[in-house]
Amino acid sequence: MNAAQVHVRKSALTDAVLAEVPLAPLGDGEVRLGIESFSVTANNVTYAVVGDGFKYWDFFPAPDPALGILPMWGHARVIESHHPDIAVGERVYGYLPMASHLDVLPGRVSAGGFMDMAAHRQPMSPVYNSYTRLAADPEHDPAREAERMIFGPLFRTGFLIEYFLRGQDWFGAEQLIVTSASSKTAMGLASAARQSSPGIKRIGLTSKGNVAFVEASGLYDAVVAYDDLASLATAPSVSVDFAGNADLLARIHHHFGDALTQSVLVGATHIEARSVFGKNEPLPGPKPQLFFAPDHAVAFFKAHGAEEGGKLVAAAWREFLRAAEGSIAIERHAGLDAARAVFTRMVAGQIDPAKGIVIEP
């Protein structure tokens, strides 16, 4: 039996091919997942751009070390099980390869989920190694599986950013400046800030072509095109950069200067202008700080516990879904070759942010 996989050349992300590799027999305690669906978002571009530095390529190694298999968020079904507590037919949600199958070694099994204890995954954050069992998952809504794949992981990152900033009293800021405001993570942050920090003005920066889309979301108090950055008032501000564009980050720092109380770096959606998170030159104002969501997720759930923390996230998630209703047109594509094509187009910036892409391998 073979598995189909999409192999991406790490040094040239638009170079991606569909390949088949043989599946080895399952060992004791192992489970084979048949991948049913996953989303392809700008988050996956970020995984690829920073893949070596943050070990994103290490979750699902390709046979050739020059190639990688991208991680995705999605749903899978148990098609073979050598684990006594996990039955064939059960469905799970979690971190999956851009592929047709995944073999896992479940550990810490509970009614709600399990961890993949495969040795090569242990150096990475446990957030990515956790799988929820849908039969006992309070966040699961069969009618909203597409939205969860498209928005869920990105929303959670936005939720954690807001939680972190609020815990620091917003570093004394009066307004939040968000780059790549059309991105799903930015929208999640804006929604969480609207819910929990209504006194902070939310300003979304985006390209001219996306202004109308971002305004229509209703998540921001103001939406400004990148070219109009100089029009913003230099009130005390926190900047959260999802674009990874060094020139844009420099413009923000130079415009706000000492009025910029904190500069947070999250992603890299502008692949054509990326640098090592904008660290190529000294900037006025605070030194940009990288926000690594998995570390903050571990701290959040340690502080609140799994059950209470899950309730807090779920409540904010439901509110975000109401706010985001109708903002994304969901497109479903069949087959991994469609996934390959969508990803390479997304790397090239050719995917409309008003589309949510779901792949069904």
Q: What are phi and psi of 292, to 5 degrees?
A: -105, 105
User: pLDDT of 139-154, one tens digit each?
Assistant: 888 988 999 998 888 8
Would you list the domain boundaries of the chain? 2-137+328-360, 151-294
User: pLDDT of 69-88, one tens digit each?
Assistant: 999 999 999 999 999 999 99
Assess whether pLDDT exceeds 80 at residue 278: no
Residue 298 DSSP symbol: H
Q: Answer whether 114's CB lies under 8 Å from 157's CB.
A: no
Q: What is the pLDDT of residue 170?
A: 98
CATH architecture of the domain covering 2-137+328-360: Alpha-Beta Complex (3.90)
d(CA 54, CA 46): 10
Alpha-helix residue ranges (DSSP H) falling in 197-243: 211-217
Average pLDDT score over residue span 30-49: 91
Find out if CATH 3.20.20.210 is the number for domain 151-294: no
